[in-house]
Amino acid sequence: MAVKFRITILTIALAGGQAAAADLPSRKSMPEYVPPPPIWSGFYAGLNAGYGWGGTNGVPTAAFPLVDNIAADPWWRTPLGFAAIANSGVASVNQSGFVGGGQIGYNYQWSPSFVVGLEADLQGSAIRGAGGRAGIVRFGPDASGAFETAAGSGAVAAGVDWLGTVRGRVGYLVTPTLLAYATGGLAYGGVHANAAHALAFSDSLPTIYPTFGGTGSYSDTRVGWTVGGGGEWMFMPNWSLKAEALYYDLGSASFGSSPVGALDPDGTNLSTGVPGALMFANGLSTRVKYDGVLARAGVNYHFNWGAAAPAPESARPIVWSGFYAGLNAGYGWGGTNGVPTAGFPLVDNIAADPTWGTPRGFAAIANSGVASVNQSGFVGGGQIGYNYQWSPSFVIGLEADLQGSAIRGAGGRAGIVRFGPDASGAFETAAGSGAVAAGVDWLGTVRGRVGYLVTPTLLAYATGGLAYGGVHATAANMLSFSDSLPTIYPTFGGTGSYSDTRAGWTVGGGGEWMFTPNWSLKAEALYYDLGSASFGASPVGALDYNGTSLVNGAPGAVLFANSLTTRVKYDGVLARAGVNYHFDWGSAAPIVAKF
């Protein structure tokens, strides 16, 4: 009996131990760690817009003697190249303006914290500026007791028409979605420059000798380097925003201008002794530096995000209603190319002189005419707007945009008029020329939109409304005058400028594709008209250096002076593409579970 009891107790104990062992927690191996995918690796493309500031503002011009007969004259005895000093100096030209365009690139995330890549971009540029310089030099008394005086002036305009870079990037991930990077590499771009030079010369005021001015221009594609840095934020799968600053240097360019000099109308110079002979002529060389800093923002779409495919979601309606904002870039073509200039007489002593007897305003005809100025160039900026989808097929909305503009152009005109013979048997000849430059520095619109949904994600629309923008224009006018060649009278040219903010209208149409929730691509064409502007220039005329005019008879008196008015039309067509982010996509409200 005792043996049976002990066996029973042992059996219960063994069974209880097995049950307790079954209740103990099991010891399993730790799950294998799977690192997150490299979300920054892959190709990307996007748009950018910003502003550029010039780095080197000083533009020097150096003049040197080509011919100098007054230095060789025993009466004048001026130093060789004396008059050239008046046309030498430095103009301050601040090249600045808006930029806008696009970029493509590739990133490789080679660790959880570091990203390397390569990026190329290309943008239109309104980076440009203009400035002037003046100089005066005096020598004497010479052997005849006179003082020689030369007064020179010049104007220079320069800028970057388009700009591109190819850069390496090295970045550090401050957070998994925020990249801080340094970048540098090749920079290249299309640049231009124009220079105009004038001179006045006298050996004893008020006697002023006939002079001629010089002009020069430069246009080329230049290659240099760039370096900078920025930050990029991956704010949602496949999409990032970036902001960066770049210093670019396209090097320096030197270009020459046609000579500046003076003529001897009566042959008093002993080195030549021929009326109309060349007294001196100076060559000019201008040097422009193309460098500066770009500050810009942009948006990128990343084609290879690397994340797992999203879980399928229930179908939801495509709704266009809500606010949106985005970037755009494109090109503008001028509409009205003809820029007329009209001259009319302020003073006309040769018409009142019985010996000359020219028709009143005779010389003004030479400075009247039409220049062909094709205003065109890149544009880039941003837009904001609101849509309301009031039926399954129709959308109405309001959009405002603002962009920098490289829309500009330049052109020239020339004219000649002849009268005679006059009472003395001579023939009066006036030959005029002029150059006009005009453009749109920035452009904005506020427009209504009415659209039809071709498909739930494709909107075709018409648009129109207010247009406004900053515009500019400059004009330079020159004249030569003779009553009997080779005698050429001293003349003076005139310049004028215009700058203002103008308002007008715009109309056009386009299409917009909602290619993913919240994001759309658009392409559109707009005609804009900012109206016409007229502006005057300082007078153009001639002087009577020897007092032969019977009306005044004073050496240095005005023979005639004409006022000039130039009229510019600011209109054209924009073709541009853009990307928009829609803040209110219109998805259905989340379902709330009830228990």
Answer whether 240's CB lies under 8 Å from 232's CB: yes
Q: What helix, strand, coil percent values describe the chain, rounded to 5?
A: 5, 70, 25
pLDDT at 11 over 60: no
DSSP, residue by residue, 171-214: EEEEETTEEEEEEEEEEEEEEEEEEEEEEEEESBTTB---EE-E
Question: At 364, is the secondary structure helix, strand, or coil?
Answer: helix
Task: Give the DSSP letter of residue 19.
Answer: H
The CA distance from 580 to 519, in Å, is 6
Instruction: Give pTM, 2 decimals.
Output: 0.64
Distance between CA atoms of 543 and 207, rounded to whole angstroms?
Answer: 9
DSSP per residue over 37-59, as a string? P-TT-EEEEEEEEEEEEES--EE
Q: Which residue has the higher pLDDT, 441 or 248?
A: 248
Q: Which of 353, 256, 296, 29 is nearest to 163 (CA)?
A: 296
Most confident of 155-164, 526-535, 585-594: 526-535
Does the structure show a pLDDT above 60 at 422?
Answer: yes
- Cross-strand partners of 325: 384, 581
- Write the pLDDT tens digit of every residue in 323-353: 999 889 889 999 999 999 999 999 888 888 8
The pairing of strands 214-236 and 178-202 is: antiparallel
Gap between the Cα atoms of 293 and 53, Å rounded = 5
Residue 594's pLDDT is what? Answer: 43
Of the candidates 219, 256, 290, which has an alpha carbon nearest to the alpha carbon of residue 58? 290
> Which residues contact residue 391 at a Cβ distance below 8 angstroms, ignoring those fewer than 6 apart?
none
Contact between 412 and 376 under an 8 Å Cβ cutoff? The reply is no
Q: φ and ψ at 298, to 5 degrees?
A: -160, 175
The two counts, helices (H) then strands (E), for the chain are 2, 23
Distance CA 490, CA 480 (A): 8
Residue 136 forms beta bridges with which residues?
151
Residue count of the chain, please give it: 595
CB burial of residue 549 (10 Å; 0-12, 13-18, 19+): buried
CB-CB contact of 78 with 269 (8 Å): no
Structure tokens at 446: 């506020």
Tell me: pLDDT of 222 over 90: yes
Compute the CA torsion angle 444, 448, 454, 457 (nearest 10 deg): 60
The answer to whether 590 touches 547, Cβ cutoff 8 Å, is no
Q: For residue range 470-484, what is the model confidence (pLDDT) as tens digits?
A: 999 988 888 888 877
Per the CB < 8 A criterion, the answer to whether 298 and 49 are in contact is: yes
Share of the chain above pLDDT 70, in %: 84
> At residue 229, does pLDDT exceed 90?
yes
Angstrom distance (rounded) from CA 218 to CA 193? 5
Residues 6+ apart with CB under 8 A from 9: none
Q: Is the confidence at residue 592, as pLDDT, over 60?
A: no
Q: Is the peptide bond before 486 cis (omega within 30 degrees of 0)?
A: yes
490: Cβ contacts below 8 Å, ≥ 6 apart: 208, 209, 210, 211, 265, 542, 543, 545
Query: Residue 403: beta bridge partners?
Result: 381, 443
User: Using CB atoms within 10 A of its CB, is residue 27 exposed (0-12), middle (13-18) or buried (19+)?
Assistant: exposed
Mean pLDDT of 429-447: 90
> Does residue 488 carry a pLDDT above 60?
yes
Position 308 scores a pLDDT of 43
Residue-wise pLDDT tens digits, 171-216:
999 999 999 999 999 999 999 998 888 888 887 766 678 888 788 8
Per-residue CA distances from 182 to 30, 113, 117, 305 (Å): 40, 14, 11, 22
Strands 376-389 and 322-334: antiparallel
Query: Which whole number is the average pLDDT over 529-545?
Result: 89
pLDDT in tens, 104-162: 999 999 899 999 999 999 988 889 888 888 888 888 787 777 788 888 888 898 999 89
The whole-angstrom separation of Cα 407 and Cα 403 is 11
C-alpha closest to that of 399 among 426, 373, 381, 372: 381
Mean per-residue pLDDT of the chain: 84
Is a pLDDT exceeding 50 seen at residue 306?
Answer: no
Confidence of residue 264 (pLDDT cuts 50, 70, 90): confident
Distance from C-alpha of 275 to C-alpha of 487, rounded to nearest angstrom: 7
SS (H, E, C) 296-323: EEEEEEECCCCCCCCCCCCCCCCCCCEE
What residues form DSSP beta bridges with 475?
A: 436, 496
Residue spans of the domains in the chain: they are 42-306, 333-586
What band does 2 get if pLDDT is binned at 50, 70 and 90? very low
Residue of 579, 44, 577 whose CA lies nearest to 329: 577
Identify the pLDDT of residue 8. 46
Question: What average pLDDT does this structure show over 499-506?
Answer: 94
Q: How far apart are CA 297 and CA 419, in angstroms?
A: 62
Q: Which residues contact 589 (CB under 8 A, 6 or more apart)?
A: none
d(CA 483, CA 70): 25
Whether residue 49 has pLDDT greater than 50: yes
DSSP states along 379-390: EEEEEEEEEEE-
Stronger pLDDT, 20 or 227, i.e. the higher one: 227
What confidence score (pLDDT) does residue 273 get?
Answer: 65
SS (H, E, C) 122-141: EEEEEEEEEEEEEEEEEECC
